[in-house]
Amino acid sequence: MRPSGRAPDQLREIALEVAVSRYAEGSCLAKFGQTHVLCTASVETGVPGWLKGQGKGWVTGEYGMLPRATHTRGRREAAQGKQSGRTQEIQRLIGRSLRSVVDLKLLGDRTITIDCDVIQADGGTRTAAITGAWVALSKACAYLVEEKVLKASPITGQVAAVSCGVFENAPVLDLDYAEDSNADVDANFILAGDGRMIEIQATGEHRPFSDDEFAALMRLAKLGCAHLFEAQLKAAG
């Protein structure tokens, strides 16, 4: 029995609200239950120095969490003077995942930065961030096409992400904090729209895991992402 009463293969209530920012070229407030991540896509001219002259654009992600997004207040990273290893790991993951579905040549001399800021956290912030980031990115690209800055959208496919885990010996989909903090195995799956995988991160938190367990988690992830892909299309519409 899951703390939330959900079935093992049941996502939390998912909402992908768009146009939530007055200024960003694309934006999406991704809600996976009580986990709320505000994703904004900002288009800027120019690319990072090391990419100059290659005729390619860049897509990158930044991640942050409001200090009181969590049960107990965390320290503000800006005040501490550095981003934690966890933050940097998630930022790298977001950027890598999104770039796998963008034709950077088509994007041209532009950088799109997706800021994913966690307003409230209840487990699965990185997967909600990636799922919402794709919508924000997609909206920003549509805007560039609409404004005739680009002839065609450089987006080549969908990306969505969901967490799975082994909780009380049962494989379950989309862990909330109560599950996440007690799961034996914790995995994040980032999938492409065709069902193939873009990134897998699986960790045996308290014990190693078997092939069968892993296979069960992967099945759940595919199931979950199928729903997320639908929600994304509806939102990005």
User: What residues are designated binding site for phosphate?
Assistant: 86, 124-126
Q: How far is the CB of 114 from a copy of itself (least distance, A)?
A: 10
Q: What is the 3-state secondary structure (H, E, C) of 52-111?
A: CCCCCCEEEEEEEECCCCCCCCCCCHHHHCCCCHHHHHHHHHHHHHHHCCECHHHHCCEE
| Contact with a copy of itself (CB under 8 A) among 48, 49, 53, 208 | 208
Tell me the C-alpha distance between 66 and 129, whole Å: 14
Residue 100 in the binding site for a copy of itself (CB under 8 A): yes
Residue 218 in the binding site for a copy of itself (CB under 8 A): yes
The Cα-based distances of 27 to 7, 41, 43, 142 in angstroms read: 31, 6, 12, 12
| Contact with a copy of itself (CB under 8 A) among 15, 66, 145, 233 | 66
| Contact with a copy of itself (CB under 8 A) among 54, 203, 234, 237 | 203
Is 166 within 8 Å of 217 (Cβ atoms)?
yes
Which residue ranges make up the site for a copy of itself (CB under 8 A)? 21-24, 27, 34, 38, 40, 42, 44, 62, 64, 66-73, 76-89, 91-92, 96, 100, 113, 115, 117, 119-120, 122, 187, 191-192, 194, 196-204, 206-211, 214, 218
